[in-house]
Amino acid sequence: MKIAVIGAGRMGAALGRLWAKAGHAVVLCDVRPIEELEALAREIGHGTRAAHAQEAVADSDVILLAVPWASIRDALARCGSLAGKVVIDVINPHKSDFSDLEIGFTTSASEEIAKLAPGAKVCKALNTLPSPVFNLPECKVSGMKVSGFYCGDDEQAKQIVAQLVSDAGFDPVDCGPLSSARYLEAAGMLLIRIVVALKASPELALTLVRQDKPCC
C-alpha cells in the first residue's frame, strides 16, 4: 500500500517505520522543516520519502492521522480532500495535561474527523497502544503479541486496516462501527490513568484474551 503519514512524531514515525519494513511505500508529512523529515525518511529507509501533505495524500491509498488532537483541523486543511481514501486515525483526544478526554460519549475524534473529511473512509486503530510499544522487538509486550483494536463503518476499509494492524505486528481485533471509537478513545485514556496510578513504564498494553482462542 501507499501510505501517507500525517504527523511524523513518536507514534507516526514508529508506525511509518513498521509499515516501511513490512514493504509498504511510506511518505512522511509534518509541519517540521522538510530537511528534518527527509533525514528521518533516510534513516527509516525501505524507500521511505518525505513530502508535503497535499502531494503525499493525492498519491496515497491510506492516510495515517497521527497529529495531536489540538492540531487536527490544521492537519486536515494541509491534506486537502480525503474523499475515497482509507483514513486511519490513531489520535487520543485527551486534554493537554493528560487528565481527561476533550470529547467523548456522544462523539469521538474519529467521528469528528469523518464529519470534517467528507467521503473519507475513516477507521480508528491502534490508539490504545502507547508509542514505546511500537519500539519493542516485534512489538511484543512481555513476549506476547497484543491486540490492535480497530473500528470503522466501511467494511472494505476495515479489511485494509486489519491487514496493516497485522503488518505492524499486532493481533487485529474488530470493535465494530466507527462509533466504537468513543470506547476505544476512553480505553486509551484508561491506559494513561493506569500508567499514572501504577507509576508504570508505558511499555504496556491492553489486550483481548479469549477462551475460545489461545492467546500467547
Q: In what order do the strands lie in the sheet with 25-29?
A: 49-50, 25-29, 2-6, 62-65, 86-89, 121-125, 147-152, 171-174
* Contact characters 187-206, a second copy, x per CB under 8 A: x-xx--xx-xxx-xx-xxxx
Shortest approach of a second copy to residue 62 CB, angstroms?
21
Shortest approach of a second copy to residue 33 CB, angstroms?
34
- Judged by CB under 8 A, the stretch of 15-23, 64-72, 83-91, 100-108 that binds a second copy is 100-108
Shortest approach of a second copy to residue 50 CB, angstroms?
31
Q: What are phi and psi of 212, to 5 degrees?
A: -90, 10
Q: Does residue 211 interact with a second copy by CB under 8 A?
A: yes
Query: Cβ distance 111 to 179 under 8 Å?
Result: yes
For residues 165 and 188, give the distance between their C-alpha atoms in angstroms, rounded to a whole number.
17
**Angle at which helices 72-79 and 109-116 cross, to 10°:** 40
Q: What are phi and psi of 110, to 5 degrees?
A: -65, -45
Size of the site for a second copy (CB under 8 A): 48
Residues of span 129-188 touching a second copy by CB under 8 A: 133, 136, 141-144, 146, 149, 151, 173-176, 179-180, 182-184, 186-187
For residues 198 and 125, give the distance between their C-alpha atoms in angstroms, rounded to a whole number.
25
- Binding residues (CB under 8 A) for a second copy: these are 100-101, 104-106, 133, 136, 141-144, 146, 149, 151, 173-176, 179-180, 182-184, 186-187, 189-190, 193-194, 196-198, 200-201, 203-216
